[in-house]
């Protein structure tokens, strides 16, 4: 009988710390979701990523008897949305997004996508590195801050509103600016996983491992294989 093996990898301390901080933040009150709601949504995103026989993109978890718990903290539509974002991001359409936001609001949706991004980053890395899955943290009490920037405007490069000025930066950079706390959390991850924001203009930047061109080649190849529309 075949036996499974666990890889032994040397993970940079700053990357370990960034993942740990982001993972713990899943249980903390956010801007639009409580700590308990964020954890619930994170659990659904993790299931979407890891279950061997996922639901089809057009099948919402809330339509399957027993898939969701009866005593949910977050609305069923939020679980439906984060499942599809986490597992079938390439199938999202603007009309689907508008339907979700008609129930959840666009800013709550932005934070929901941020939760999915955190789960995807940590879960995928640990799986690829042969590391044991991380247990979700305990929820932290408290209410969402509901802090809303005063300078939100529509954007041509994003479905969601962004902070002004719109469309002067890449869509992926401005996408989370309407929820500053989530925006900062994701950049903290990006600084460790990819490249610090302030170094983006330097094509020769490196940590001493992969060069910048090598990093971009890997990123482009992965995006192509995953049919990333961005």
Please provide the DSSP assignment of 40-65 as one string.
HHHHHHHHHHH-SSPPPTT--GGGST
DSSP code, position 175: T
Instruction: Measure the CA–CA gap between 31 and 227, rounded to whole angstroms.
Output: 31
pLDDT reported for residue 67: 95
pLDDT in single tens digits along all 230 residues of the chain: 344 445 567 888 999 999 999 999 999 999 999 999 999 999 999 999 999 999 999 999 999 999 999 999 999 999 999 999 999 998 999 999 999 999 999 999 999 999 999 999 999 999 999 999 999 999 999 999 999 999 999 999 999 999 999 999 888 889 999 999 999 999 999 999 988 888 888 888 888 888 999 989 998 998 888 777 66
pLDDT reported for residue 3: 46
Neighbours of 181 (CB within 10 A): 19
Encoded tokens for 116: 């999915």
- CA torsion angle 177 101 114 171 (round to 10): -50
Output the CA–CA distances (angstroms, integers) from residue 182 to 2, 106, 143, 147, 212, in the order listed: 42, 14, 16, 11, 26
Instruction: Measure the CA–CA gap between 214 and 220, rounded to whole angstroms.
Output: 10
**Closest to 114 in 3D by CA, of 179, 47, 39:** 179
CB 90 within 8 A of CB 227: yes
């Amino acid at each position: 009988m075949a036996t499974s093996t666990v890889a032994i990898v040397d993970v940079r301390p700053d990357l370990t710390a960034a993942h740990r901080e982001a993972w713990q933040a899943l249980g903390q009150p956010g801007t639009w979701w409580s700590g308990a709601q964020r954890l619930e949504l994170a659990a659904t995103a993790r299931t979407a990523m890891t279950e061997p026989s996922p639901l089809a993109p057009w099948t919402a978890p809330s339509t399957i008897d027993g898939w969701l718990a009866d005593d949910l903290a977050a609305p069923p539509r939020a679980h439906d949305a984060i499942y599809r974002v986490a597992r079938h991001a390439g199938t999202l359409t603007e009309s689907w997004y508008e339907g979700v936001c008609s129930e959840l609001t666009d800013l709550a949706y932005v934070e929901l996508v941020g939760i999915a991004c955190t789960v995807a980053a940590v879960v995928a890395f640990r799986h690829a590195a042969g590391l044991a899955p991380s247990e979700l943290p305990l929820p932290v009490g408290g209410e969402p801050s509901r802090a809303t920037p005063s300078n939100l405007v529509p954007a041509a490069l994003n479905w969601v509103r962004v902070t002004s000025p719109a469309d002067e930066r890449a869509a992926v950079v401005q996408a989370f600016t309407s929820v500053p706390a989530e925006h900062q959390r994701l950049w903290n991850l990006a600084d460790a996983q990819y490249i610090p924001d302030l170094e983006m203009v330097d094509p020769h930047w490196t940590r001493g491992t992969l060069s910048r061109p090598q990093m971009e080649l890997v990123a482009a190849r992965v995006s192509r294989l995953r049919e990333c529309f961005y």
